[in-house]
Structure 1
Amino acid sequence: MNQLSGPVPSSLGNMTDLEYLYLRENQLASSIPGFLGNLMNLVVLQLDTNQFTDFIPDNLCRGGSLQNLTMAGNNLTGFIPGSMRNCTSLLRVRLQENQLTGNISDSFGVYPNLDFMDLSFNKFHGEILVNWGSCRRLRDLRIAGNNITGSLPSEIGNATELQGLDLSSNGLIGEIPKELRKLTSLVRLNLSRNQLSGSINPEIASLSGLQRLDLSRNRLNSSIPESIGQLADLFHLDLSNNRLSQEIPGQIRMLTHLSELDLNNNSLIGEIPAQFSSLQSLLKLDLSHNNLSGPIYAIFEDMPGLATVDISYNEFQGPVPIAPS
């Protein structure tokens, strides 16, 4: 966190007892030097938020001690080196916001102690394989903004310690596997901006600690399951830009912590449930571009916290409710 510039000096390669090397948030440039692989005792290597280019050196995990590897926010290109696939000591890996490429199916192995992995906003392709389900201690997996295709494997349900899963902005297809119900520790689930289809499984209620759920911009159909009202800790729910139909379930009233609800651009019908007035924490509501009808209930008058409401492009009738003072 200084203004250091230029390349990493080669003399660092002689510090063979070095365990912790923090060079993050500077203006270091050139390529990441291969002599860092000589640091056989290296446990933590943080090079993020610099101006590094070219490839990740092939020998970084040569000593078998590397636990924390952070290279996010650079201009790295090329493939993940084979040494990282077998680096079973890894606990935390941050490679997001680079231009790394390669087939994600072949690039990563099984890491028995892995806690956190962020590969978001690179150029990885391929399919998500069963390996991630074998990382039993994994608590946060982020692979957003890549070119991942294929279906979401059911084995992901074996990573039962997961608290955060973000696979948004890829090309995933098929249905959301029912095995996700086993991820009972999930707090954040983001599968938005894919091509997922099928219905939302009512067993989503088993994710009782979920706080953020974003399934927007997919091809999900059928109705919003009533069981979604059992997610008592949910404060952000985005199901917009799908093909959901039927009525909005009244059980949504049970989401008393909900602050953002976005259901726009679906094919929902019926009236706004009168129970919406129970959503006293709601700040943002978007029901636009549906087939909702009936009167615009005065329920909005009982929701003083609302900051943004969009109910345009429906078939409502009656006077506009008076905004609360």
Structure 2
Amino acid sequence: MVPKLFYFLMFFTLFTVTFASVEEATALLKWKATVLSQNNSLLASWTLSTDACRGWYGVICFNGRVNKINITNAGVVGTLHDFPFSSLLFLEYVVYLDLSTNQITGSIPSTLGDLTKLNILYLYENQLSGPLPAEIGKMKSLEYLSLWSNNLSGPIPITLGDLTELNVLYLYSNQLSGPILAEIGKMKSLEYLSLWSNNLSGPIPITLGDLTELNVLYLYSNQLSGPIPAEIGKMKSLEYLSLWSNNLSGPIPSELGNLKNLTRLDLSYNQLTGLVPVSFGNLRNLQTLNLAANELSGSIPKEFAYLDSLVLFSMSFNHFSGLTEWLCKDGKLEIFVVNGGKLEIFTVNSNKLTGPIPRSLSKCSSFKRVRFNNNNFTGNLSEAFGIHPELRFIDLSDNDFHGELSSNWGKCKNLIDSKGIWKINFSG
């Protein structure tokens, strides 16, 4: 009796799996009939006469069931309206749906939410439009969601905060509007959050500080307003923070100095006011610091001498009145050990800087591009200028310098282009 029952169960399982495969294949073929493929050789394999689990391009099965679909770059032209989301009952396995880099238009159907076991969803670089369906919040197994570079519009649905397993959320380069919801702070597993180049407005929610696993936070090129929340200083894993080109105002919170893993910090093109926090001296891994085009004032703190990994530093178009003497100091008699560092791009133009250029900058042998123009600098240029063998451009115009040029200028071979013209601007 037991062997008969065993064989019956085996037959029933095999029949069920086979039926499911035919059902899935038929549903996919129905969708294929509604779209065009600019690369017919890829989807030509999708026929009833072939095994969907073995012969179909971009289709991978597990236990006879369609488990992964990857038809990226297949040149598909069409919509998702007839895509069989409800027919593809994926197993609890690492599953994948990649329809990216095609020409898929129209809205995202609410039936997408039926894929409750999907781990990875890539629909980027298409022409999708309309709102994000609230049903996405039902896809509790999602770990990667990439919808970037489409024409999606409307607000971010509050249900997105239910995706607590999400590691990567890429919604950038769309037309999304409305606020960044506080519910995003519930996504405690997030490591990458990119919402840049949308029409998002309102304040940055303080709940983002709860995303302590986050490595990348890109919110630039939106219409965000209000202060930078001090709670961002709790995001100790953060390596890249870009908030440029918004309407952020108020002072820079000193708590940002707690982000010791930060390598890129860009706060440019906002309306930030006040002083640069002394705590920025703690950001020893910082390679890029861009504070340009704000309303910042005061002096650059001497603690910046600790930033010996800095490659790019821009404070242009502000109201700064002083530079620290300690940048690029050799540190023999002081606690600072910059020794010239790695600083390549240094732009302080269009401020209220006065007095001579700090002598310590003559030790920045790594300089490639420098702008001192449109300030009130004075002093003897021959004393301020060091040996900068990598220097390719320098602008000293609109200041009150005097004196003869140093012989060190002749050692800057990259300052002369192929036509023998010097890439130096003294005029103004």
- TM-score interval for Structure 1 and Structure 2 normalised by the shorter chain: over 0.9
In the TM superposition, what are the counterparts of 1:229-244 in structure 2 within 5 Å?
Answer: 229-244=305-320
| Structure 1 range deviating more: 6-15 or 61-70 | 6-15
The answer for the alignment partner of 2:344 in structure 1 is 259
Offset of 1:242 from its aligned partner?
A: 0.7
Q: Aligned-pair distance for 1:278?
A: 1.9
Partner of 1:155: 231
Letter in 1 for 2:374: H
**Counterpart mapping for 1:159-174 below 5 A:** 159-174=235-250
Contact 2:325 2:360 (C-alpha < 8 Å) held by counterparts:
no
Residue in structure 1 matching 2:89, options 5, 12, 16: 16
Is the 1:51–1:74 Cα contact (8 Å) retained in structure 2? yes
Partners of 1:158 and 1:301 lie apart in 2 by 41
**Distance (Å, rounded) in 2 between the aligned partners of 1:82 and 1:201:** 35
- The 1-side partners of 2:192 and 2:135 are apart by 21
Greater CA drift, 87-96 or 312-321: 312-321
Mapped to 2, the partners of 1:58 and 1:246 lie a distance apart of 51
Q: Specify the alignment match of 2:107 in structure 1.
A: 31
Structure 2 residues without counterparts, runs of 5 or longer:
1-71, 330-337, 414-428
SS in 1 for 2:106: coil
Distance 1:15 1:200, change over 3 A: same
List per-residue Cα deviations over 1:75-127 (Å, max 9, x = no partner): 10011122202221111101111100112245634211110100111111111
Cα distance in structure 2, aligned partners of 1:280 and 1:245 = 24
Cα distance, 1:136 vs structure 2? 1.1
Q: Work out the CA distance in 2 between the residues paired with 1:129 and 1:83.
A: 16
Check whether the contact 1:198–1:219 (CA below 8 A) recurs between aligned residues.
Answer: yes
What whole-Å deviation, never above 9, does each CA across 1:152-172 have from its counterpart, x for those lacking one? 111111111111111111111
Match for residue 4 of structure 1 among 72, 76, 83? 76
2:385 and 2:103 mapped to 1: Cα distance? 51
Q: CA deviation at 1:249?
A: 2.3
CA-atom RMSD in angstroms: 1.7
How far does residue 11 in structure 1 lie from its aligned partner after superposition? Answer: 2.3
Identity across the alignment (%): 33
Gaps of 5+ in 1: none
Matches of 1:285 and 1:242 in 2, distance apart? 16
Q: Is the 8 A contact 1:227 1:251 kept in 2?
A: no
Aligned position for 1:284: 369
Q: Secondary structure at the match of 1:245?
A: strand
Tell whether the 8 Å contact from 2:354 to 2:377 is kept in structure 1 after alignment: yes
Report deviation, 1:250.
3.6
Equivalenced residue count is: 325
Deviation digits for residues 11-42 of structure 1, max 9, x if unmatched?
A: 24411207211112222111122221111111
1:319 positional shift: 3.1
Contact 1:102-1:123 within 8 A present in 2 as well = yes
**In proportion to residue count, which structure has more helix?**
2
Determine if the alignment matches structure 1 residue 195 to structure 2 residue 277: no
Question: Quick one: which amino acid aligns to residue 180 of structure 1?
Answer: L
Residue 152 of structure 2: SS of its match in structure 1? strand
AA aligned to 1:4 is V
Tell me, yes or no, if the aligned pair for 1:293 and 1:316 is still in contact at 8 Å: yes
SS of the residue aligned with 1:277? helix
